[in-house]
Amino acid sequence: MAVLTPPAAGSLRRTPAPSLLLAIAAASAVPVLLAAMVGGIGATLAPGQPAQPAPPAPSATASPTPSWTGTPTPTATLSPSPTPTPSLGSAPEVTPTPATTVKPTSAPSVVPTPAPTAAPADYSRPGGIYLDILTAYRGYGDWYRSLLDTIYMLPADYSPGDLVDTSVASLNGGYVVRSFVVADLKAMADAARVNGTPIVVVSGFRSYAHQQSTFDYWVGVGGYEQALRTSARPGHSEHQLGTTLDFTSAGGKAPWEYADWAMTPAGGWMAANAWRYGFVMSYPAGSFATTGYDYEPWHYRYVGRNLAAAVRKSGLPLREYLWQTR
Ligand SMILES: [Zn+2]
């Protein structure tokens, strides 16, 4: 059923870790702090990086994560701060610090991060890294290639002007998408209906402000750490593109209330066929390390039929695909 399978570890193209992370890696205390802040998902923050002597670190004190805008640091994680990790210079070969102690609560679907390779914590694997960097492609014409994750974001005022109600796609209304999505969205909805597995929309475009309240809602539901894994901070949501929708079964409950919506008739049909209409499941199961988010079988981003086919053929999650072609 899984349309997109997680990539083999190590298949990622490596880029030099940005100086920020190098600086972080340089200061031995900071990684621990950062790891704690991000919920102990240590894999991506594995210090390592022996090959590159720490550059003139912009003062170790500099707050490593400009993005942590006042959010309350989850307390639980700060506890007996585990593994201060191997000291930098000493390790010619980095021992992949087995992702520390703090376990991501619940979320049974999450594969506990693939064994950390000896790779540096760079931005090709965003899982557990939370920053606020404007994505490179952020024009309204870049909708198909705008890289959004827990690191890269859209400007707060990004709000497409061509939004139309989903009812024009023969779906339930009350949500909006960019106008050019409608033809394929309607074709997909019609096909699902013909198949006897009709779908409905439960979310479409969300503005920056809307995303703020959405994120806050999930913080209220499951706490900050869990919200980070399942919801995007404002600016980071693909819903802000106006090309992304969440679906569920017509007459069904909220998709996240199923153990796995993709195992339902409608969700299964979508998992197998949405790509034919230009939609990609952005967060397939087990791809936290490379997408930054837990499995979301209901969340589909429109990228056009050609790109959706290419992404499917690649076997990569969309975020990883876009990273490689950015
Ligand atoms: Zn969504």
What does 219-280 look like in DSSP terms, one character per residue?
HHHH-HHHHHHHSPPTT--GGGGT-EEEEEETT---GGGSS-GGGSHHHHHHHHHGGGGTEE
From ligand 1's centre to the CA of 97, what distance in Å? 32
From ligand 1's centre to the CA of 279, what distance in Å? 12
From ligand 1's centre to the CA of 168, what distance in Å? 20
From ligand 1's centre to the CA of 40, what distance in Å? 25
Contact indicator for 139, 158 with CB cutoff of 8 Å: no
Neighbours of 52 (CB within 10 A): 14
Q: What is the pTM of this model?
A: 0.66
From ligand 1's centre to the CA of 41, what distance in Å? 23
**Angle CA(223)–CA(226)–CA(232) in degrees, nearest 5?**
105
Which tops the pLDDT comparison, 233 or 36?
Answer: 233
The pLDDT assigned to 325 comes to 82
Report d(CA 218, CA 227) in Å as an integer: 5
DSSP one-letter code for 71:
P
Domain range summary for the chain, segments of one domain joined by +: 125-324
Report d(CA 27, CA 25) in Å as an integer: 5
Q: Cα torsion for 11, 14, 18, 22, to the nearest 10°?
A: 80
pLDDT in tens, 194-235: 999 999 999 999 999 999 999 999 999 999 999 999 999 999
Domain 125-324 has CATH 3.30.1380.10: yes
pLDDT band at 88 (very low <50, low <70, confident <90, very high): very low
Residue 164 belongs to what H/E stretch? strand 163-165
- The strands making up 199-203's β-sheet, listed across from edge to edge, are 199-203, 244-249, 296-302, 279-283
